[in-house]
Amino acid sequence: MSSSSSSSSSSSSSSSPSSLAVLLVLVTVISVTSAGNLYQEFDITWGDGRGKILDNGVLLTLSLDRFSGSGFQSKHQYLFGKIDMQLKLVPGNSAGTVTAYYLRSQGPSWDEIDFEFLGNLTGNPYIVHTNVYAQGKGDREQQFYLWFDPTADFHTYSVLWNPQRIVFYVDEVPIREFKNLERLGVPFPKSQPMRLYSSLWNADDWATRGGLVKTDWSQAPFTASYRNFHTDACVWLLGRSTCNSRSPVAHSWLSPEMGFANRQKLSWVRRRFMIYNYCVDAKRFPQGQPRECTVS
């Protein structure tokens, strides 16, 4: 992973005020409407050719074999926004594989917002594993089954991140909400810009039934596919956010509340498809629920 692209104030002052103002306006427009060519949005960062951008930048694929997985990262860092990507997960017997899709900042006290898709034996459902890190602390796992086959077609996986909450979406259906509860002493990701990453890798020591089911390498190479990346987000540039109070663009993701319809959908997902919730794991937290779990 690359180091933070934040620049010092001295580097910011090297541009004239007028040219910097024009640059910030242009990037603000780009950040709000970005849905561009994947060559322009991402760098393949590892995998020795196993990650590819195809069809003139329309499609990106990652592959895994017994020698290596692969991964990519966004060219930009973001500080708040809504980020969407369509994924088609590894088909067939994907047991032991993990397709990770996440936002992460740099440094020892990093922030992170995770989707991880845990493969399984043919015919069994994928597990969607989610987690939130704030200032280097995670241990906030929630897991779900999906209500469709995520290997048969592309589906949209989104993160909405604003100063009040983080919401995970699948096809615009909210599956998880993590609220800002700093008033209770719970850290919340709000000051560190994060880059988008994805990787496909072997995790058969833990991913499928706690490591009981191992990767069947006769099925390799395993391939996950990506398309239709879209952001409505604040890009971090020259040590500052491109969004500010004077921006003429209204950001729908800044709304502090989810709304009644989305709350109903969230309740439906949690009731029907949640299979693990750290908040009720008494073995891990014998002293009682973490503080953020005590507020509905």
Catalytic amino acids? 112, 116
Buried b / exposed e over 164-182, threshold 16 CB at 10 Å, is ebbbbbbeebbbbebbbbe
Structure tokens belonging to residue 233: 């987000």
Name the one residue in this structure whose structure tokens are 């969004």.
243
Beta bridge partners of 131: 114
142 touches 290 (CB < 8 A): no
- Written as one letter, the residue type at 115 is F
Distances (CA, A) of 150 to 63, 97, 221: 17, 14, 18
Burial class (CB in 10 A: 0-12, 13-18, 19+), 246: exposed
